[in-house]
Amino acid sequence: MCGIIGVSGTNHVGLDVYEGLHAVQHRGKDGGGLVSFSDGVFNGPFMRDGIIAEAFTEGEIRGLDGAIALGHVRYATQGGRNKLDAARDAQPLLFKHTRNGAIAVAHNGDIRTAPQLRTDYLAIGGFFQGTSDTEVILHNFAKATNDSLDSLLTQTLEPIQEGAYSLVMIVDGKLVGARDVNGFRPLVLGKKEGGYMLASETVALKRARASYIREVEPGEIIVVEDSGPRSIRPFGVRSEGKQKKCVFEYAYFARPDGLLFNTNVAAVRREFGEILARKFPNLSTDMVGAVPDSGNDATIGYCHASGKPFEIVFSRDHFAGRTFIDPDGEKRAAKVRAKLSPYEGLEGKVVTLVDDSLVRSTTSRELVKMLKEVGVQGVNMLIAFWPFAYHCKYGIDTADDGELASHSMNPEEIRKYIGADFLGFLDQAEVLSAMKKVGGLEGFCTACSDGEYPVS
């Protein structure tokens, strides 16, 4: 999962991109990058390891001012994780000299056709600097026939149209945004001052003080002209029911204070919690608490529907980072203890914990262990998502099926493994019904539940 930002025509495009990246930092911490463009000249790209707040100086950010700027925060999926690969694969990527001019691009998603495209381009003399699947977009661009900007963009994206991507680009001196026909990954359009902004989430618009206009539709390409944004749809319009939006964005990745696919994220998560309360109505418990922070809204929904009061069970250290996106299992376990600490006074209590998801089971196991170490009598774990049983091919870093608890164990086996006294999940129908009820939403990818991948 990555976070992308593109800004055109505001008073301070570099600063607006920087502010927006702060708001989507949760989408990746392997590194960040920035590039700006003005009067035919690119400034950058500038790449840094780590988080945005510590990676760039104020002087560097203000030096990026121009007509257009792009930003990216990354964690690796198809690309590598060692330092050399991280440096080569950092984005935005820039080709300054092709027969079609220059292109800069920042990408969120996973292009399933990238390995074959890479092989094809190498066979005809192409070359690649790193391991990122995003590089094939640059090669598509360089290979295209430049009859018009619209034709150039269509030819650039046609070989990857069934992949998973949201893109921000600088092409022909213009800001361009694009989303795949399935709509796997989110992208939104906003306005600030006399300019426009494209971002992974609406929270980036808020941070940069831009107003939300609308979601970029699946299969849509947005070109920001001097007169404003215009839309082209070279691959047709896919009905909502046939789209494959990522439901795990709602369960975990998206920030709760924003809109996702035009729907309030917090409201969906609270509906997940309400369904849990109706599904497991007779749990004996002394208190109900959230696994912070992504479990907070589901817990509020659970407490609202069950009539049980919300209690704070864990204190969170917000500087410890997100455990899910750390690639090493032992590091994740250590970070759970660094990030979360049980409150005093829990001895002898039965605690019900509500969490957003259970993927590898590392977090759940450590939390149960921590509570029982301080004398908690019993722990009920409620998971506001379906059993995550199959790895994601579209941009979420779950690697192999064997890493996923629900791939090899049933719920009772997982309960015993994590040491909980009770474990309950939502099922696929319940998750999808929450989407339908809250936002009238249809057309979600369910591959992490049933292994039925919509794109090979």
Note the pLDDT tens digit of each residue in 361-379: 999 999 999 999 999 999 9
Scored b (16 or more CB within 10 A) or e, 308-338 reads bebbebbeeeeeebbbbbbeeeeebbbbbee
Res. 86: pLDDT tops 80: no
Active site residue 445: no
What is the pTM assigned to this prediction?
0.92
Contact status, residue 424 vs residue 276, Cβ threshold 8 Å: yes
Does domain 3-238 fall under CATH 3.40.630.30? My reply is no
- pLDDT at residue 195 in the model: 97
pLDDT digits (tens, 9 = 90+) for 165-190: 999 999 999 999 999 999 999 999 99
Residue 162: pLDDT band with limits 50, 70, 90:
confident
Q: Is residue 127 scored above 80 in pLDDT? A: yes
Q: What is the pLDDT of residue 268?
A: 98
Domain ranges (residues) in the chain: 3-238, 265-450
CATH code of 265-450, in short, is 3.40.50.2020
Of the candidates 125, 167, 116, 170, which has an alpha carbon nearest to the alpha carbon of residue 143? Answer: 125
Q: Give 85 or 235, the one with higher predicted confidence.
A: 235
Instruction: Give the whole-number percent of the chain exceeding pLDDT 90.
Output: 77
Q: How confident is the model at residue 339, as a pLDDT?
A: 87
pLDDT of amino acid 321: 56
pLDDT tops 50 at residue 448:
yes
Task: Give the per-residue pLDDT at 54.
Answer: 87
Average pLDDT, the chain: 92
Of 69-73, 91-95, 275-279, 337-341, the least confident? 337-341
**Strands 422-425 and 378-383, bridge-based pairing:** parallel
pLDDT tens for each residue of 301-344: 999 999 999 999 999 887 665 555 455 556 667 878 888 999 99
What element of type H or E holds 72? strand 68-74
Q: What is the pLDDT of residue 15?
A: 96
Q: Are 48 and 31 in contact (CB under 8 A)?
A: yes
pLDDT at 68: 98
* Residue 282 near residue 308 (C-beta atoms within 8 A): no
Q: Is the per-residue pLDDT at 82 higher than 70?
A: no
Catalytic residue among 2, 246, 392, 448: 2
Nearest Cα neighbor of 52 from 104, 14, 85, 89 is 14
